[in-house]
A and B are shown apart, each in its own frame.
Chain A
Amino acid sequence: MELIHKELGDGINLYLDVTDKFKTVTVNLYVQNKLGDEATWYALIPSVLKRGTSTLKTYKDMVKYLEMLYGTTMAVSVYKKGERHFQQYRLELPQEEYVEENVFEKGIKFLYELVFEPFTQDGAFLKEYVLQEKEVQKNLIESRINDKTKYAVDRCYEEMCKGEPFAIFELGKKEDLDLIDEKNLFEYYKKCIDTLPVDIYVVGNVNPEYAEEVFRKYFNLRRKEVLEIPFTDVRKEVKEVKYVTEELDVNQGKLTLGFRTNVSPGSEEYYSLLVYSTILGGGPFSKLFMNVREKASLAYYAYSRLERFKGLMVISSGIEVENYSKALDIILKEVGEMEKGNISDYEFESAKKSLYTSLNAIKDNATSKADYYLSQKIAGTNLGIEEFIKKIEKVSKEDVVEVSKKVKLDTVYFMRNKKEA
C-alpha cells in the first residue's frame, strides 16, 4: 500500500491512497488538539462550521449543493484517541467516471470553505448559529445516558481517570457552554486554524498530480506556529481498586471493569497486549465469550477492548443485576487464567487469525483506511497493514503471559436498577 505524502501548507499534510476499488473518493480531514479545558469549545466548532460557509450561507444551501454533486455526503464529528482531541470532516464524492467531470474539484473547494471559510458577520460567527448549536451540544451531552451500553463504558473510564485529561468527555462540559458566545468562539476558532496540525487523507481513484494541484489551490496556507501535540502519558500505578455503583431506571445491569496496562501505543509490547486482549474477549473464541456467555449463560455480550492511546483496557458485559458477584468472579478468574498462561492453542491461534482478518479488512473501507493511517501516525509507528500483521505473527504465548503481568484492575463500575426504597 503506497501512501503519497505532500505538505500543502505549514502543518497541513495531504496523504493520497490511490485505488480503483471504490465508486467514490473519500476525503477525511482531521484537526487535532490536546484534550483539555478547551474541549467544549473545540467540540462546538465543527457543528457551527457545518451551518454555513462564506458562499453557502446556510446548512440548507450546503446540502443542496452536495445533492447536486450526486449526493456527496458530508459528515463532521468529534472524538478522542488517548488525550488527543480530533475534529473530523469527511466528504464522500462520487468517482467522476460514473457521473461527470469536475465533481472532485467542486468537492475539495467545498471542504476548504467548510473548514477555513465559515460564514461570518462583523468578525464573528453568526449569533443564532452559535446559540442553536450550543443548545444542541447541551442536549447531546445530556443524552449520553440514552445509550446505556456506551454510557457504562464511558463512565467506567471517567471514574478510573478522574483528574486526568482522558476523563474529559469528547463533547466537553455543559457548564462551559454558558461561557461561549459568537465572538469568543470565533477568536478561539481562529487560534485553532492558525496553530493546529491538519491531516487530510484521500482514498480513491484520483490522479495524484491532479489531486495535489487541486488541493494546493485551496490548502496552501502559511501559518506561523504549528503546535506539536504531545504523546499521552499512559503510566499510572494502581494503588487500590475502586468500586463504583450507579443506580438508574434500567432492567439490565452493566458490569464494566477498567484496567491500566502501562503499555504505550508505540511500543513493541503493544502487539502482545493486543493479542492478550483478543484472547481474553475479542470474539466468539475468547475466554469471556466462552465462559460468561456460553458456559454460564449469564450474558448476551461480554468482551474486552483496548484504548490503545491511553494504555487502558475495558471489559464490559450486560447481566441480570443479581448475578453481579457471579459474573465478576468468572471475569476475574479468566483474567487470572491469562496470567497463569492457561491459553489453549485454539484460543491463541484464533485470536491471531481474527486480528489478521480485521486488519486485512481495513483495506476494503476508505474511512477505516484513513483512520488506520491516522492512528499509525499518532502512535509514531507508521506501519503498513502488512507490517502490522508481521508484528502480530511474531507475538508468542510467552509474550502474552509477560504482558498480562502489566494489566492491573483499576475500577469496577456497575450500573444497576434502583433499589426498592
Chain B
Amino acid sequence: MQQVYDEKVREKILFEELENGLKVYVMPKKGYTKQFAIFATRFGSNDSKFIAPGDDYVTEVPDGVAHFLEHKMFEEEEGSIFEKFSQLGASANAYTNFTTTAYLFSSTENFYENLKLLVHFVQNPYFTDENVEKEKGIIAQEIRMYQDDPNWRVYFNALEALYHVYPVKKDIAGTIESISRIDKDILYKCYYTFYHPENMVLFAVGDIDVDKTLQVIEENVRQVKKQGEIKRIYPDEPVEVHKKEVVQNMQVSIPLFNLAFKDTDVGFGGRNLLKKSLEVQIGLEMAVGRSSELYEKLYQEGLVDSTFGFDYTGEIDYGYTIIGGQSKDPLKVRDIIIKAFKEKSFLDRETFERIKRKYIGKFLRTFNSVESIAYSFINLYMKDIDLMDYLPVLHQINFKDVAERVESHLNEETSAMSIIYPVK
C-alpha cells in the first residue's frame, strides 16, 4: 500500500486501488476504542439523469432515488441487515447527500467481521415490489418530518432562490409524489450503474491492522472488470440567481433567514477547490465571524443571536455560501451584511493571520474522533481533495487571494434571501 505520513499532525493514511477500481484507504489510530468504516459511492440526489456505461440512451429517474436506494440496501433476502450488525454489537447507518451515498458502521469489537458484512451488504441488492412499496410509507414520514423543520426549509428555499435548474435545489429525499413513481427496476438500474466498485471508495479508521483490513476487503469485494465512465447529465445553470427572495410561513416564534450567495467560479476539484473553499471560509470568518465588528454590531442591536452562523459549500460543479440564523428583522440583517461586503473594511492583515491560526487548530481537532476523520475524508474525497493537503494549502493562501475571493463571490448580485416568517 502507498503511505502518506504527515509530520505536523502525526498521522498516516494508506492507500490502494484494487483491480476492479475500488479505492481503499486505511488510517490506523492507536489507542482508539472505536473502529469506523465507511463505504461510499459517487451517487447523490443530483444524479437523476445519466448514460450508464455501455448504454446508448439517457436514463432519467424520479427525484429521491439515491436516498430511496440507500434505505433499501439494508434489506436482504434473509432479513434486515441491521439485525446482523446488531448481533455483532456494531451500529450501522447510512446517509445520502447531493453527491454521495455512504454506508457506515462503528464498532468496538468484531471489526473485521463487521467490515466483511459492510462490504457484503452494499454489494447485494435485494429489491422486491413488496419491500419497495413498504418503504414508501417510512420515507413519506421522513419527508414530512423535514417539511416541519424550519431550518431545513429555510435552507432548501435558499437553494431554490439561487438555482434555476441545477438539481441541488431539490430535496434529497424527493417528494411524496416522486417517490411514489419508484419501483424495483429503477432501483436496480441505478444500483448497477453507480454501485460498481470503480465508482466507490472505502475508508477505514481505528486501532486496526492495515494488512488484515485490506485483505478482508479484497476477499469480499466483487471481482469485476472496470466498467468505464458514467456520463452524468446536469442542466446548464445560468450565472444569475433564480429569485432574489423566497418566503414561507411556518409555526416558528421568530423569523429565520438564510442569506445565500451563488458561486459561479466552478468546474474544478482537487487542491484548487480546497484553496477556493478555504479562501471563502476565511473571508466569511473575517467578515461575519464571532470576532468580527459586524457580528458585534448585529448582536448588540438585537438583530441576531447565538444561532447566527455561516458556511460555504464547495462542490466540483457548484458552490454556495449560506449566512443564517434567527432575527426579528432579516431584511435589515441582509442590508447590513451586503453593505459590509461592499465596503470590505473587515479585510485587514492582522485578522487574516489570526483566522489562519484558528484554522490550524480547527483542522487538528478533526483528528480527535474517528467519525469526524471519516466524514471529512469522504466529503473531501468526492471533490478529489486529499485530506492531508489541508495544512499545505492553508499555508499557501495569502491575503490578496482572500480579498479577491470576497470581491467576486460575496456581493449583492450573487445573493438571494430565504425567510421563514411566523404564521399569522
A residues adjacent to B (C-beta < 8 A): 19-24, 58-60, 63-64, 67-73, 92, 94-95, 98-99, 128, 132, 135-136, 139-140, 142-149, 248-252, 283-285, 293-294, 297-301, 318-320, 346, 349-350, 353-354, 356-357, 360-361, 363-366
Cα(A64)–Cα(B286), bound, Å: 11
Cα(A67)–Cα(B9), bound, Å: 19
* Minimum-distance CB pairs A-B, first 4: A297-B137, A71-B358, A71-B361, A353-B89
Q: Most chain-B Cβ atoms within 10 A of its Cβ — which of A135, A149, A249, A284?
A: A284
B residues adjacent to A (C-beta < 8 A): 8-10, 31-34, 80, 82-83, 85-92, 106-109, 134-142, 144-145, 147-151, 250-254, 256, 289-293, 295-296, 299-300, 302, 305-306, 326, 354-355, 357-362, 364-365, 367-370, 423
| B145:A300 contact, CB within 8 angstroms | yes
User: Which A residues are CB-close (under 8 A) to B364?
Assistant: 23-24, 70, 94-95, 98-99
| A354:B253 contact, CB within 8 angstroms | no
| B149:A148 contact, CB within 8 angstroms | yes
Cα(A68)–Cα(B365), bound, Å: 16
Question: A250 contacts which of B142, B251, B362 (Cβ < 8 Å)?
Answer: B251
Cα(A319)–Cα(B141), bound, Å: 6
| A364:B296 contact, CB within 8 angstroms | no
13 contacts between A and B (CB under 8 A): A21-B368, A59-B299, A60-B293, A68-B357, A94-B360, A143-B253, A283-B91, A318-B144, A320-B141, A353-B87, A354-B89, A357-B91, A357-B106
User: Which A residues are CB-close (under 8 A) to B140?
Assistant: 320
Q: How far is the CB of B175 from chain A (nearest CB, A)?
A: 12
User: Which B residues are CB-close (under 8 A) to A298?
Assistant: 137, 141
Question: B305 contacts which of A59, A140, A250 (Cβ < 8 Å)?
Answer: A140
| B108:A356 contact, CB within 8 angstroms | yes
Question: A72 contacts which of B9, B31, B142, B361 (Cβ < 8 Å)?
Answer: B361
Chain A residue at smallest Cβ distance from B366: A23
Cα(A250)–Cα(B252), bound, Å: 11
User: Which A residues are CB-close (under 8 A) to B137?
Assistant: 297-298
User: Which B residues are CB-close (under 8 A) to A354?
Assistant: 86, 89, 91
A19-B31, A60-B290, A283-B91 known, 8 other contacts, Cβ within 8 Å: A20-B31, A63-B289, A99-B361, A143-B254, A251-B147, A284-B82, A285-B83, A357-B90
Given A92-B365, A363-B33, A346 and B300 contact (CB-CB distance below 8 Å): no
| A353:B86 contact, CB within 8 angstroms | yes
| B253:A146 contact, CB within 8 angstroms | yes
Cα(A372)–Cα(B42), bound, Å: 38
Cα(A294)–Cα(B138), bound, Å: 8
Cα(A186)–Cα(B387), bound, Å: 47
User: Which B residues are CB-close (under 8 A) to A350?
Assistant: 83, 86-87
Question: A22 contacts which of B87, B134, B358, B368 (Cβ < 8 Å)?
Answer: B368
Question: B299 contacts which of A23, A68, A132, A248 (Cβ < 8 Å)?
Answer: A132
User: Which B residues are CB-close (under 8 A) to A139?
Assistant: 253-254, 305, 326
| A249:B357 contact, CB within 8 angstroms | no
Question: A60 contacts which of B86, B296, B368 (Cβ < 8 Å)?
Answer: B296
| A99:B360 contact, CB within 8 angstroms | yes
| B86:A284 contact, CB within 8 angstroms | yes
| B151:A146 contact, CB within 8 angstroms | yes
Chain A residue at smallest Cβ distance from B291: A63
| A252:B291 contact, CB within 8 angstroms | no
Q: Most chain-B Cβ atoms within 10 A of its Cβ — which of A24, A349, A357?
A: A357
User: Which B residues are CB-close (under 8 A) to A132?
Assistant: 299-300, 302
| B86:A300 contact, CB within 8 angstroms | no
| B423:A249 contact, CB within 8 angstroms | yes
Q: Most chain-B Cβ atoms within 10 A of its Cβ — which of A67, A148, A293?
A: A67
Chain B residue at smallest Cβ distance from A289: B82
Q: Most chain-B Cβ atoms within 10 A of its Cβ — which of A19, A63, A148?
A: A63
Question: B82 contacts which of A251, A285, A356 (Cβ < 8 Å)?
Answer: A285
User: Which B residues are CB-close (under 8 A) to A363?
Assistant: 33
| A346:B107 contact, CB within 8 angstroms | no
Cα(A144)–Cα(B141), bound, Å: 22
User: Which B residues are CB-close (under 8 A) to A300?
Assistant: 138-139, 141-142, 145
Cα(A172)–Cα(B360), bound, Å: 38
Q: Most chain-B Cβ atoms within 10 A of its Cβ — which of A63, A71, A99?
A: A71
Cα(A121)–Cα(B137), bound, Å: 60
Q: How far is the CB of A316 from chain B (nearest CB, A)?
A: 12
| A364:B34 contact, CB within 8 angstroms | yes
Cα(A12)–Cα(B355), bound, Å: 35
Cα(A349)–Cα(B87), bound, Å: 7
Given A24-B364, A63-B290, A293-B138, A364 and B252 contact (CB-CB distance below 8 Å): no
Question: B370 contacts which of A69, A94, A364 (Cβ < 8 Å)?
Answer: A364
User: Which A residues are CB-close (under 8 A) to B295?
Assistant: 60
Question: A357 contacts which of B80, B108, B149 (Cβ < 8 Å)?
Answer: B108
Cα(A20)–Cα(B31), bound, Å: 9
Chain B residue at smallest Cβ distance from A58: B296
Given A20-B31, A146-B256, A249 and B250 contact (CB-CB distance below 8 Å): yes
Cα(A139)–Cα(B252), bound, Å: 11
User: Which B residues are CB-close (under 8 A) to A24?
Assistant: 361, 364-365, 368
| B291:A145 contact, CB within 8 angstroms | no
Chain B residue at smallest Cβ distance from A20: B31
Q: How far is the CB of A326 from chain B (nearest CB, A)?
A: 12
Q: How far is the CB of B296 from chain A (nearest CB, A)?
A: 5
Q: How far is the CB of B95 from chain A (nearest CB, A)?
A: 14
Q: How far is the CB of B207 from chain A (nearest CB, A)?
A: 10
Question: A71 contacts which of B87, B150, B299, B357 (Cβ < 8 Å)?
Answer: B357
User: Which B residues are CB-close (under 8 A) to A135?
Assistant: 302
Given A283-B91, A285-B82, A94 and B361 contact (CB-CB distance below 8 Å): yes
Chain B residue at smallest Cβ distance from A295: B134
Q: How far is the CB of B254 from chain A (nearest CB, A)?
A: 6
Chain B residue at smallest Cβ distance from A128: B300
User: Which A residues are CB-close (under 8 A) to B147?
Assistant: 251-252
| A145:B253 contact, CB within 8 angstroms | yes
User: Which A residues are CB-close (under 8 A) to B355?
Assistant: 67
Given A146-B253, A349-B87, A366-B368, A70 and B300 contact (CB-CB distance below 8 Å): no
Cα(A278)–Cα(B184), bound, Å: 34
Given A68-B357, A350-B86, A98 and B138 contact (CB-CB distance below 8 Å): no
